[in-house]
Amino acid sequence: MKTQHPKLKTHLFSCGFFRHCTRTVLSPTTPHPPPLPFSSSDPLPPSLSLDSSPPTPQPPDPSTHHHYPSKPDSASSSSSTSQSFTQWKFDLPDSPILPYSQPEPDRKPEPTSKPPPPPPQPISSTNLQELFHAAELQLSIGSYPEQIAALHLLERSLVPYPPPDPVCPPELMRGVVRNLKNKAAAKPATKILLALCLAEGNRHVAVESGAAAAVVETALELEAASAERSLAALELMCTVAEGAAAVRAHAMAVPVMVMIMGRTSARGKEYAIGVLAVIYGGGDDEQAAEAVAAAPPEEVARAVELALQGDCSGRGRRKGAQLLKVLQEN
């Protein structure tokens, strides 16, 4: 092994002030640099002489050689074993080169939606009378769940096919009218009332049972769809003399109809305008005076004009135009 000796590189250059300037560049391996600087008159050390040749390298001492132990046989055997182990090949279960096909997982059939049940068949007069009698008993003396069940049974039986006859019993009609004020039963009750009022004979029974006054008092509290159905039934009740008289006699009829025109849909506006046309378009002088006292015609006309400017049906616009003429005459 060769022993490295520090080497000093000396560069000589001339300048105008000194004859020879000596600058020693040290090697990074020099442990102890010589004292600097040297004057030009001092002799250089023998080791820094320019004509000195580098010392002859000494042969390496055999005792300084390091012998590294060789790897044991176990390490070489484990290396060869690992190499041979990595050369093994295993077939992957999902490999496409397998000679056999994998079984597909069982797929459950997608559930098909059931078709809607067919509508019920029309009920005969005999069966309808039995239904009226059973519902009348449940609405009169039954518990609250039984009354709700009776209303839903009447809804499923009467709404698809409104019966022209027989006439609804008064006690059953009163039970339906009472449930207009029940928030949970108002929806089926309005459907039943409208289906029954499609027959003229049931309109008289409804007015006698207080349906006209009940609709006026509950219309603002009902939901939009239920309020529209109740107003449609009220307009049908106004086609009979006692129904029109009952609406004109109610002090809240005109204010309620005016408020409904500003907050309901096109159909609701149409029904409210029809009821107002009945109030201001007929009756004796005393009833007309009561209607004018409840709401002046000028205010009602302004409300009708605002309702016609918004969303309104064709029938509602025709009824509104006729009502405006009547209000101008008053």
pLDDT band (50, 70, 90) for residue 296: confident
Transcribe 18-46 into DSSP letters: -S-EEEEEPPTT-SSPPP-PPPSSSPPPG
Q: What are the pLDDT digits (tens) for 244-264?
A: 999 999 989 999 999 998 888
Mean per-residue pLDDT for 281-291?
Answer: 63
CA–CA dist 264, 223 (Å, integer): 10
Q: Is the pLDDT of residue 28 over 70?
A: no
Helix axes 285-294, 266-281, angle to 10 degrees: 130
Residue 228, pLDDT score? 94
Q: Which residues pair with residue 22 across a beta bridge?
A: 12
Element (H, E) at 12: strand 9-13
Q: Which residue has the higher pLDDT, 310 or 155?
A: 155
CA–CA dist 155, 192 (Å, integer): 6
Q: What are the pLDDT digits (tens) for 101-140?
A: 555 555 666 656 677 666 667 777 788 899 999 999 999 9
Q: Is the pLDDT of residue 10 over 50?
A: no
Model confidence pTM above 0.85: no
Coil, strand or helix at 9: strand
Q: 188-199 burial, b if ≥16 CB within 10 A, otherwise e?
A: bbbbbbbbbbeb
Quick one: how far is CA 146 from the chain centroid? 36
The lowest-confidence range among 180-184, 189-193, 234-238 is 180-184
Diameter over CA atoms, the chain: 150
Residue 52, pLDDT score? 46
Residue type present at position 100: Y
Residue 28, number of CB atoms within 10 A of its CB: 5
